[in-house]
Amino acid sequence: MSTPLIAITNESYAHLLANYLTSQQLPSQVADSEKEGEYIIVLADGGDISRATAICEEFIRQPGHPKYQQAAWENGEHVALHPSKSGNLGIGNLLSWAKTAPFAASVLFICTLVYALSWLGFFGTVSQYLKMQPVGQLLQTHEYWRLITPAFIHFSALHFIFNLLWWSMLGAQIERTFGFSMLLLVFVVSAIASNLAQAVVSGPAFGGLSGVVYAVLGFVWWIGWLRPSWGLSIPKAIVGFMLVWLVLGYADVLWVNMANTAHTVGLISGCLMAALLALGSGRRKPAQL
């Protein structure tokens, strides 16, 4: 006889939990409750009730952990984490997301503010203080914040949306799994490395978060490959898409001028930081901060 485990008012979370239980050899499904807007996780006959209950309790404490979405991907199902059945994103939901990933949210806010000011006609003023300088000039002015701040400048709506969507998804995964300090380190190292390399190769006329985006992509990709038990991973199809996009940039067949060096150096820096973390920590998962 099947056993009801827990009632959840969010349908997306209910399916995430059922997928994860099933991936742990505890076959489960989501059933509608008699109460409208409530979903019941039901454990199949013969399942270990005590173990399933413990997993449910862990899920309630941290429903946003990437391992639950990973279980859904492995089962061939992508479950969107909508805060309500309608999927509307309200201020309260955005604040809740920001609390779980404050640094990812901070970068998102800064990029949005800079883009909004640029759209309102203040691009020249904003870029004057944020854009990269030629390396020789930078060594004379000592305005070394410019090694990072070009990441906040975006030149079009597509450029802005593309970068911030990937940052919000991948950066938040890193922060929730390893903490604020780790995402800060990945951001600073990859921003400096990618911006400096692009400036050396093609000069200071560039901007965008793309180098950092490729860094967080590489970080999540390699952590998932080297330490899958840590619960941080990304579907191979997404990695393939981003790598093809990188190659197309070098082929110069796209309608935009790509900062190819920044993308490549960002990707390499993210992969290297993941490798150092994974190989340097042995088989022990780092504590969350």
State the catalytic residue, choosing from 15, 65, 154, 263. 263
State the catalytic residue, choosing from 210, 229, 233, 281. 210
In degrees rounded to 5, what are phi and psi of residue 33? -90, 160
Is 23 among the residues known to form the active site?
no
Is 263 among the residues known to form the active site?
yes
Give 1's strand partners. Answer: none
Radius of gyration of the chain (CA): 21
Give 42's strand partners. Answer: 4, 29
Supply the residues annotated as catalytic: 210, 263
